[in-house]
Structure 1
């Protein structure tokens, strides 16, 4: 499950963003300024940071530079309308995106999802579980000396689950990352494709298992 760091000196904004993102299936951590955020990151890894520009102790630009120095995670800067002239400074400090207050929470969600898709492109091209290799370069699954070709969406689903093995992924997260946020079908599509994937690997490999997390979604677990 994706973990998001929210850094803002306004407690109401921190709580607002945190509550909304938790409802969308994320785990959130909050900090009131840059130094508090860096101390938190030393104890808890996060996948993305949402950072306010104007903060005491350490502002958003300084914090972004520090995050860039030590962590490979996307950063979204929050700014007031009268600070938009500092946009260039924000990107130079290493920010990936900007959003202007006030904003609709759905817009923030879309930007978060877009950044995760962009960063997920850097996932390993070859993922190995025992004698099984999920090869994104060839779009095939190699098992011992043989190769299994899957339909495109089944392969993309398997690769997405494998890239986040051990994590519980909701059906909504899977749809957004495999089918895209504009997909108009229902969540049953995920269940059907999971069923097909399981059937394809019966008797071929026991290196991993796709588990159903009742009421939530799925998790791919390596079998040691």
Structure 2
């Protein structure tokens, strides 16, 4: 009996290692980011490859600041090298025409660098953010709050959103607090909210973001969880109670 149990545990361990190795061979994260394109060129003699460098917004989480007063974090610019597959002609042509411009990129980050690429950061889509008010999105989208520490509304916009396909997949990103000039990491734990936030990223306009803050992060990267996007009014507002109709 003990021998059978030991063999079962051994096979379970082998299965875990195999599946882990297989999952590591593919894409482990993908998402969208607002970035400035600062370099893009073709390389190679026999086989063309397209490589470039973008500048993205991030933060230094070791910064000494008071999160309870919404004083975190100072914006930090980071350069990232990327690749585009030669067969992705639309993206290649778009990037060639938009050097030194702020654009919206869709990307994949590979665990193992593909043979056809020079970096593990692959750009698969690119576009200019629409600066007009969205007509194809509802004014408000909200999900239940997940945090019990505090909930608040901030005016700004999402700068990046990335899905990390770990055992429990989460969406991680950065938002810009325009009133304070700060950037803060946040998470999304609701898939429908993540889908709506991705659509919102295509618009470079100001809107209200509802953040729910938890005491612990759990499986997320951030204590902040996005619970509402509102194009018209501050997030988290209570719906007015209907007044009783007078008796006839």
Which of the five TM-score ranges fits, normalised by the shorter chain?
Answer: under 0.3
TM-score (norm 2): 0.25
Higher helix proportion = 1
TM-score (norm 1): 0.27
Higher strand proportion = 2
Q: 1 or 2 for the larger relative contact order (CA 8 Å, sep ≥6)?
A: 2
